[in-house]
């Protein structure tokens, strides 16, 4: 990959071309990537079903599974549009923007996991301690 290729990628005519070519070098790796995200989200979802008692972990795993399944499904849909050559939906900018959303959404989940998760766990434990003193009706 040379500098000229990178410059070509960021040109509006290349990114916004409503009829991109059918040949795509990264089709198979992207199919594998988005498919693996869906499989990973199903595995996380199944794991989270076993951890129902731990509400903060359930929230974190639920958001992680949700993130992976949406990124994978819409990514596969965009690749399908590109493979079929559907105009305007199969533009390169759509897939590029979806990958940017993938990174930003993942960063927000990572931020929650690193910063706010401990606070949520502490609040949950305090709430559980208080609940044991109250009668259940």
Task: Compute the distance between CA of residue 136 and CA of residue 128 in angstroms, rounded to an integer.
Answer: 13
Lowest mean pLDDT among 20-29, 30-39, 45-54, 67-76: 20-29
pLDDT tens digits, one per residue of 105-128: 999 988 888 888 888 888 888 888
Q: What is the pLDDT of residues 79-101, one digit of tens each?
A: 888 888 888 777 778 878 888 99
Say what the alpha-carbon torsion angle 126, 129, 135, 137 is, to the nearest 10 degrees: 60
Q: How far is CA 35 from the centre of its chain?
A: 12
How many residues can be counted in the chain? 137
pLDDT given for residue 56 in this prediction: 82
Q: What is the 3-state secondary structure (H, E, C) of the chain?
A: CCHHHHHHHCCHHHHCCCCCCCCCCCHHHHHHHHHHHHHHHHHHHHHHHHCCCCHHHHHHHHHHHHHHHHHHHHHHHHHHHHHHCCCCCCCHHHHHHHHHHHHHHHHHHHHHHHHHHHHHHHHHHHHHHHHCCCCCC
> CA geometry: angle at 108 spanning 102 and 110, to 5°?
95
pTM score, whole prediction: 0.75
59-73 CB burial, b ≥16 within 10 A, e <16: ebbeebbebbbbbbe
């Amino acid at each position: 990959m040379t500098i000229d290729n990178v410059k070509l990628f960021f040109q509006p005519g290349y990114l916004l071309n409503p009829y991109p070519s059918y040949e795509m070098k990264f089709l198979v790796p992207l199919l594998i990537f988005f498919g693996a995200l869906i499989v990973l989200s199903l595995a996380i979802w199944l794991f989270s079903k076993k951890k129902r008692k731990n509400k903060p972990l359930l929230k974190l795993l639920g958001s992680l599974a949700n993130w992976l399944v949406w990124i994978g499904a819409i990514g596969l849909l965009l690749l399908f549009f590109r493979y079929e050559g559907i105009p305007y939906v199969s533009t390169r900018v759509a897939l590029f923007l979806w990958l940017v959303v993938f990174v930003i959404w993942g960063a927000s989940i990572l931020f929650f996991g690193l910063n706010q998760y401990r606070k949520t766990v502490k609040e949950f434990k305090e709430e559980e301690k208080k609940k044991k003193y109250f009668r259940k009706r």
